Amino acid sequence: MSTGRILVVDDEADIRSLLEEILSEEGYDVMSAANAVEARQRRGTLHPDLVLLDIWMPDVDGISLLREWSGNDKTRSCPVVMMSGHGTVETAVEATRLGAFDFIEKPVSLAKLLRTVELALESGRAPARAMRSRMPANIVSVGRSRVMQSLREQAERVAAHATPVLITGEPGSGREAFAEYIHSLGPRADGPFVRLVASALPEEGADAILFGRVAGDGVEPGYLERARGGTLFIHQVSDLGPAAQRLLHGSLEAGRFTPVGGSEPRLLDMRIISSAAPGFEHAVQRGAFRAELLMDLAVVVLKVPPLRDYSEDVPELLRHYLDALVDSEGLQFRRLSVAAQNRLRNYPWPGNVQELRNLIHRLLILGGEEEIGLEEVEQLLAAKESGDDAVLSQDLMALPLREAREQFERSYLQQQLRLCDGKVGQLAKRVGMERTHLYRKLRALGIDFRSGGGDD
């Protein structure tokens, strides 16, 4: 049975009664308060393990109450979860900065309520472990779209097992963040998370880098040893050379490896998570990647979508990075206007989440007025798009045909659309495509044509 003392603070009697009933049936000791005065009194005398705090109350709002508590050392041992049916961006940012553990939207989802309560109470009992599980600095935790909720659920199911996972997705989509998320939720969370960039592994000497080597009276550990008890993450596994593929496959099949110059084999004791671009399996057909190694690594495949597929989460991602970068780098806090957020929500983000983070970083570094307006955002996007012309001159021969074709088409059509002042009708004539087919192509490539000059 669940344990923990919970204080519910809400001015609506029906909501207080509902939450008391639900949480009591789960085995929690529940008390309630109808306003700030009662909340202060009960929190000070009954010492709850968790506070569920409504934002909008008639006497003192929940944000003000949270701010009042944030200066008290005891607040750190008593997590606060905010509740609101109509919160705003500014309210969410302020609550996060003041230390709110999470938010629950009204009407309350039972599953969300119980999961949040469980995590919040765990944070009070074991802060370090709970913070790893919740991953506040990891973008995996951000976003309420069905796409992201479903992906998080898949990752959480996978995390409980030691099964090798292949995470596919476009560059910048957050593949490594999902690898860290899976690691943090699994039984090896207390072990190391070791990152191996496949392209940095040379053909000559790959065995010593992977397996380690005997040096004097000891052994210089390789990647497999450094990841012992934890997770080895292989970034862009398709970049592994033939020698590295052969060595890695052999060690996985045998379940052991021997350091170079040594005679005593070492048992493998780690989980492997790899990342790759979409369509990576075609490398096997081209003979560029060993089929048996792919089967070793891709027991479970997790597909991370491009940001344009869950654009409804863009405002929340913007808030996340604004807050995270202000806290981590000491930058001056700025907020995005509604018009600026709307523009960015409809931007196609070809560089995905990484591009979004970089844009926010630039806005904060450049500084300016506290509110970031639409004009400032448009100037940054225009400067970036002018730089995208260089993509046309890149050496595409290193890419698979499908990726090279998509990259060329995206860059070509973006440049042509600018020359047509954003008018799709003119673009259709210029590139010689039927308009309906062109619309489908622009959408498939994630090219933002709605913010341009219209159809004519």
pTM for the predicted model, two decimal places: 0.60
**SS3 state at 143:** coil
Total domains in the chain come to 4
Residue 411 falls inside a structural domain: yes
CATH number for the domain spanning 43: value is 3.40.50.2300
Asked if residue 276 and residue 178 are part of one domain, the reply reads yes
The secondary structure element, H or E, covering residue 103 is strand 102-105
- pLDDT, one tens digit per residue, over 274-314 is 999 988 888 888 888 999 999 999 999 999 999 999 999 99
List per-residue pLDDT tens for the chain, 456 residues long.
456 889 999 999 989 999 999 998 888 989 999 999 999 988 888 889 999 999 888 888 888 888 888 765 444 458 999 888 765 556 666 676 677 888 787 887 787 788 889 888 877 665 433 333 333 346 787 888 999 999 999 999 999 988 999 999 998 999 999 999 999 999 999 899 999 999 889 889 999 999 999 988 788 999 999 999 999 999 999 999 999 999 999 999 999 999 999 989 999 999 999 999 988 888 888 888 999 999 999 999 999 999 999 999 999 999 889 888 887 888 888 999 999 999 999 898 988 999 999 999 999 998 888 899 999 999 888 877 655 544 444 445 555 677 777 778 887 888 788 777 678 888 888 888 888 888 888 888 878 776 554 444
Whether 28 contacts 2, CB under 8 Å: yes
Q: What is the pLDDT of residue 205?
A: 92
Asked if residue 152 and residue 284 are part of one domain, the reply reads yes
Q: What is the pLDDT of residue 93?
A: 63
Q: What is the pLDDT of residue 134?
A: 37
Residue 140 falls inside a structural domain: no
Paired tokens of 129? 């472990």
Residue 97 falls inside a structural domain: yes
CATH number for the domain spanning 371: value is 1.10.8.60
Asked if residue 89 and residue 54 are part of one domain, the reply reads yes
Asked if residue 288 and residue 160 are part of one domain, the reply reads yes
Integer Cα distance of 329 and 386 in angstroms = 29
Whether 84 contacts 106, CB under 8 Å: yes
Asked if residue 420 and residue 291 are part of one domain, the reply reads no
Q: Please say which residue of 264, 288, 303 terminates a domain.
A: 303
In sequence order, what DSSP letters do the residues of 28-47 get, joined into one string?
-EEEEESSHHHHHHHHHHH-
Asked if residue 384 and residue 247 are part of one domain, the reply reads no
The dihedral built from the CA positions of residue 386, 389, 394 and 396, taken in this order, carries a sign that is positive
Q: What is the pLDDT of residue 301?
A: 96
Residue 337 falls inside a structural domain: yes
The candidate with the shortest Cα–Cα distance to 257, out of 247, 244, 246, 266, is 266
Asked if residue 192 and residue 232 are part of one domain, the reply reads yes
The candidate with the shortest Cα–Cα distance to 182, out of 162, 199, 200, 168, is 162
Residue 426 domain boundaries: 394-444
Asked if residue 189 and residue 120 are part of one domain, the reply reads no
